[in-house]
Amino acid sequence: MHEWFIFNEFDQASKAAADFIAEKVELAISQNNNCHVVLPGGNTPKKCLRYLADKPIAWQKVHWYLGDERCYPSGHADRNDAMLEENIWSYLPETNIHRIQAEAGAENAASLYAEEIKNIHGFDIVFLGMGEDGHTASLFPGNKALKDNRVVVPVFNSPKAPTERVSLSIKTLQQAKCRVVLSAGLGKAEIIFRVKKGESLPINQIGDINWFVDKEAVSYL
């Protein structure tokens, strides 16, 4: 079952999502002495990530991963790891970052990342975004990557630039212990309405989600 947390303003949703993720991180550290967290790209999570970076957490025990990466050269401004470096990693005293080597090409990078994460049997927290078409990570409606059961999948013919990407698979996202999506604005209202109806969208195929949204995003409801 999806859990919905609705707030008047996007800033409130961002803070609440950061608080929720921080609690889950601390719980994982208390149980396992470490925590494995998957982070999204895009613009929506930026505020939340800044709030998260301010939390007094034993960051040296947290390992960071990407839900997906765009096949641009290393250091390219439009890569997801560039956004994450700017909005969270650069604020932390210590970081354990596991980047996707997307500059190697989608197929090679997917194989390399699968090897990188082979010993993780269920990420503690997967923080994801959602597009207006219901995609999450780089798993787009109708794309062949949706039916690829490997741990990490190459993505070709993406409807959004660049056309080649690398993504954690539906199977890997399903195995996570906790999934979080932050979404906001009127632009997401129609797709959230479709999510609530139970359409077979990529975002609805990954399992139970803790949703943090503002009122505009659920205005069609």
Q: What is the pLDDT of residues 119-128, one digit of tens each?
A: 998 999 999 9
pLDDT value at 221 more than 80: no
Residue 194 and residue 87: Cα distance in Å, rounded? 31
Sheet holding 125-128, edge to edge: 3-7, 210-214, 179-183, 125-128, 35-39, 62-66, 96-98
Give the whole-number percent of the chain exceeding pLDDT 90: 98
DSSP state of 42: S
Enumerate the domain spans of the chain: 3-218
- Reported as a single tens digit per residue, the pLDDT across 80-107 is 999 999 999 999 998 999 999 999 999 9
Across the range 17-25, mean pLDDT stands at 98
Question: Is residue 55 within 8 Å of residue 23, measured between CB atoms?
Answer: no
DSSP state of 148: -
- Reported as a single tens digit per residue, the pLDDT across 7-20 is 999 999 999 999 99
Question: Is residue 187 within 8 Å of residue 96, measured between CB atoms?
Answer: no
- Reported as a single tens digit per residue, the pLDDT across 148-205 is 999 999 999 999 999 999 999 999 999 999 999 999 999 999 999 999 999 999 999 9
Residue 191 and residue 140: Cα distance in Å, rounded? 13
Question: Is residue 81 within 8 Å of residue 66, measured between CB atoms?
Answer: yes
Tokens 């927290």 belong to: 125
Provide CATH code, domain 3-218. 3.40.50.1360
- Reported as a single tens digit per residue, the pLDDT across 127-146 is 999 999 999 999 999 999 99
By CB atoms closer than 10 A (0-12, 13-18, 19+), residue 37 is buried
Residue 158 and residue 206: Cα distance in Å, rounded? 19
- Phi, psi angles (nearest 5°) of residue 185: 95, 160
Residue 68 and residue 40: Cα distance in Å, rounded? 7
pTM: 0.96
Residue 36 β-bridge partners = 63
- Residue 1 — pLDDT band, cuts 50, 70, 90? confident
pLDDT of residue 220: 81
Mean pLDDT of the chain: 97
Lookup: tokens for 64: 């960071």
Residue 163 β-bridge partners = none
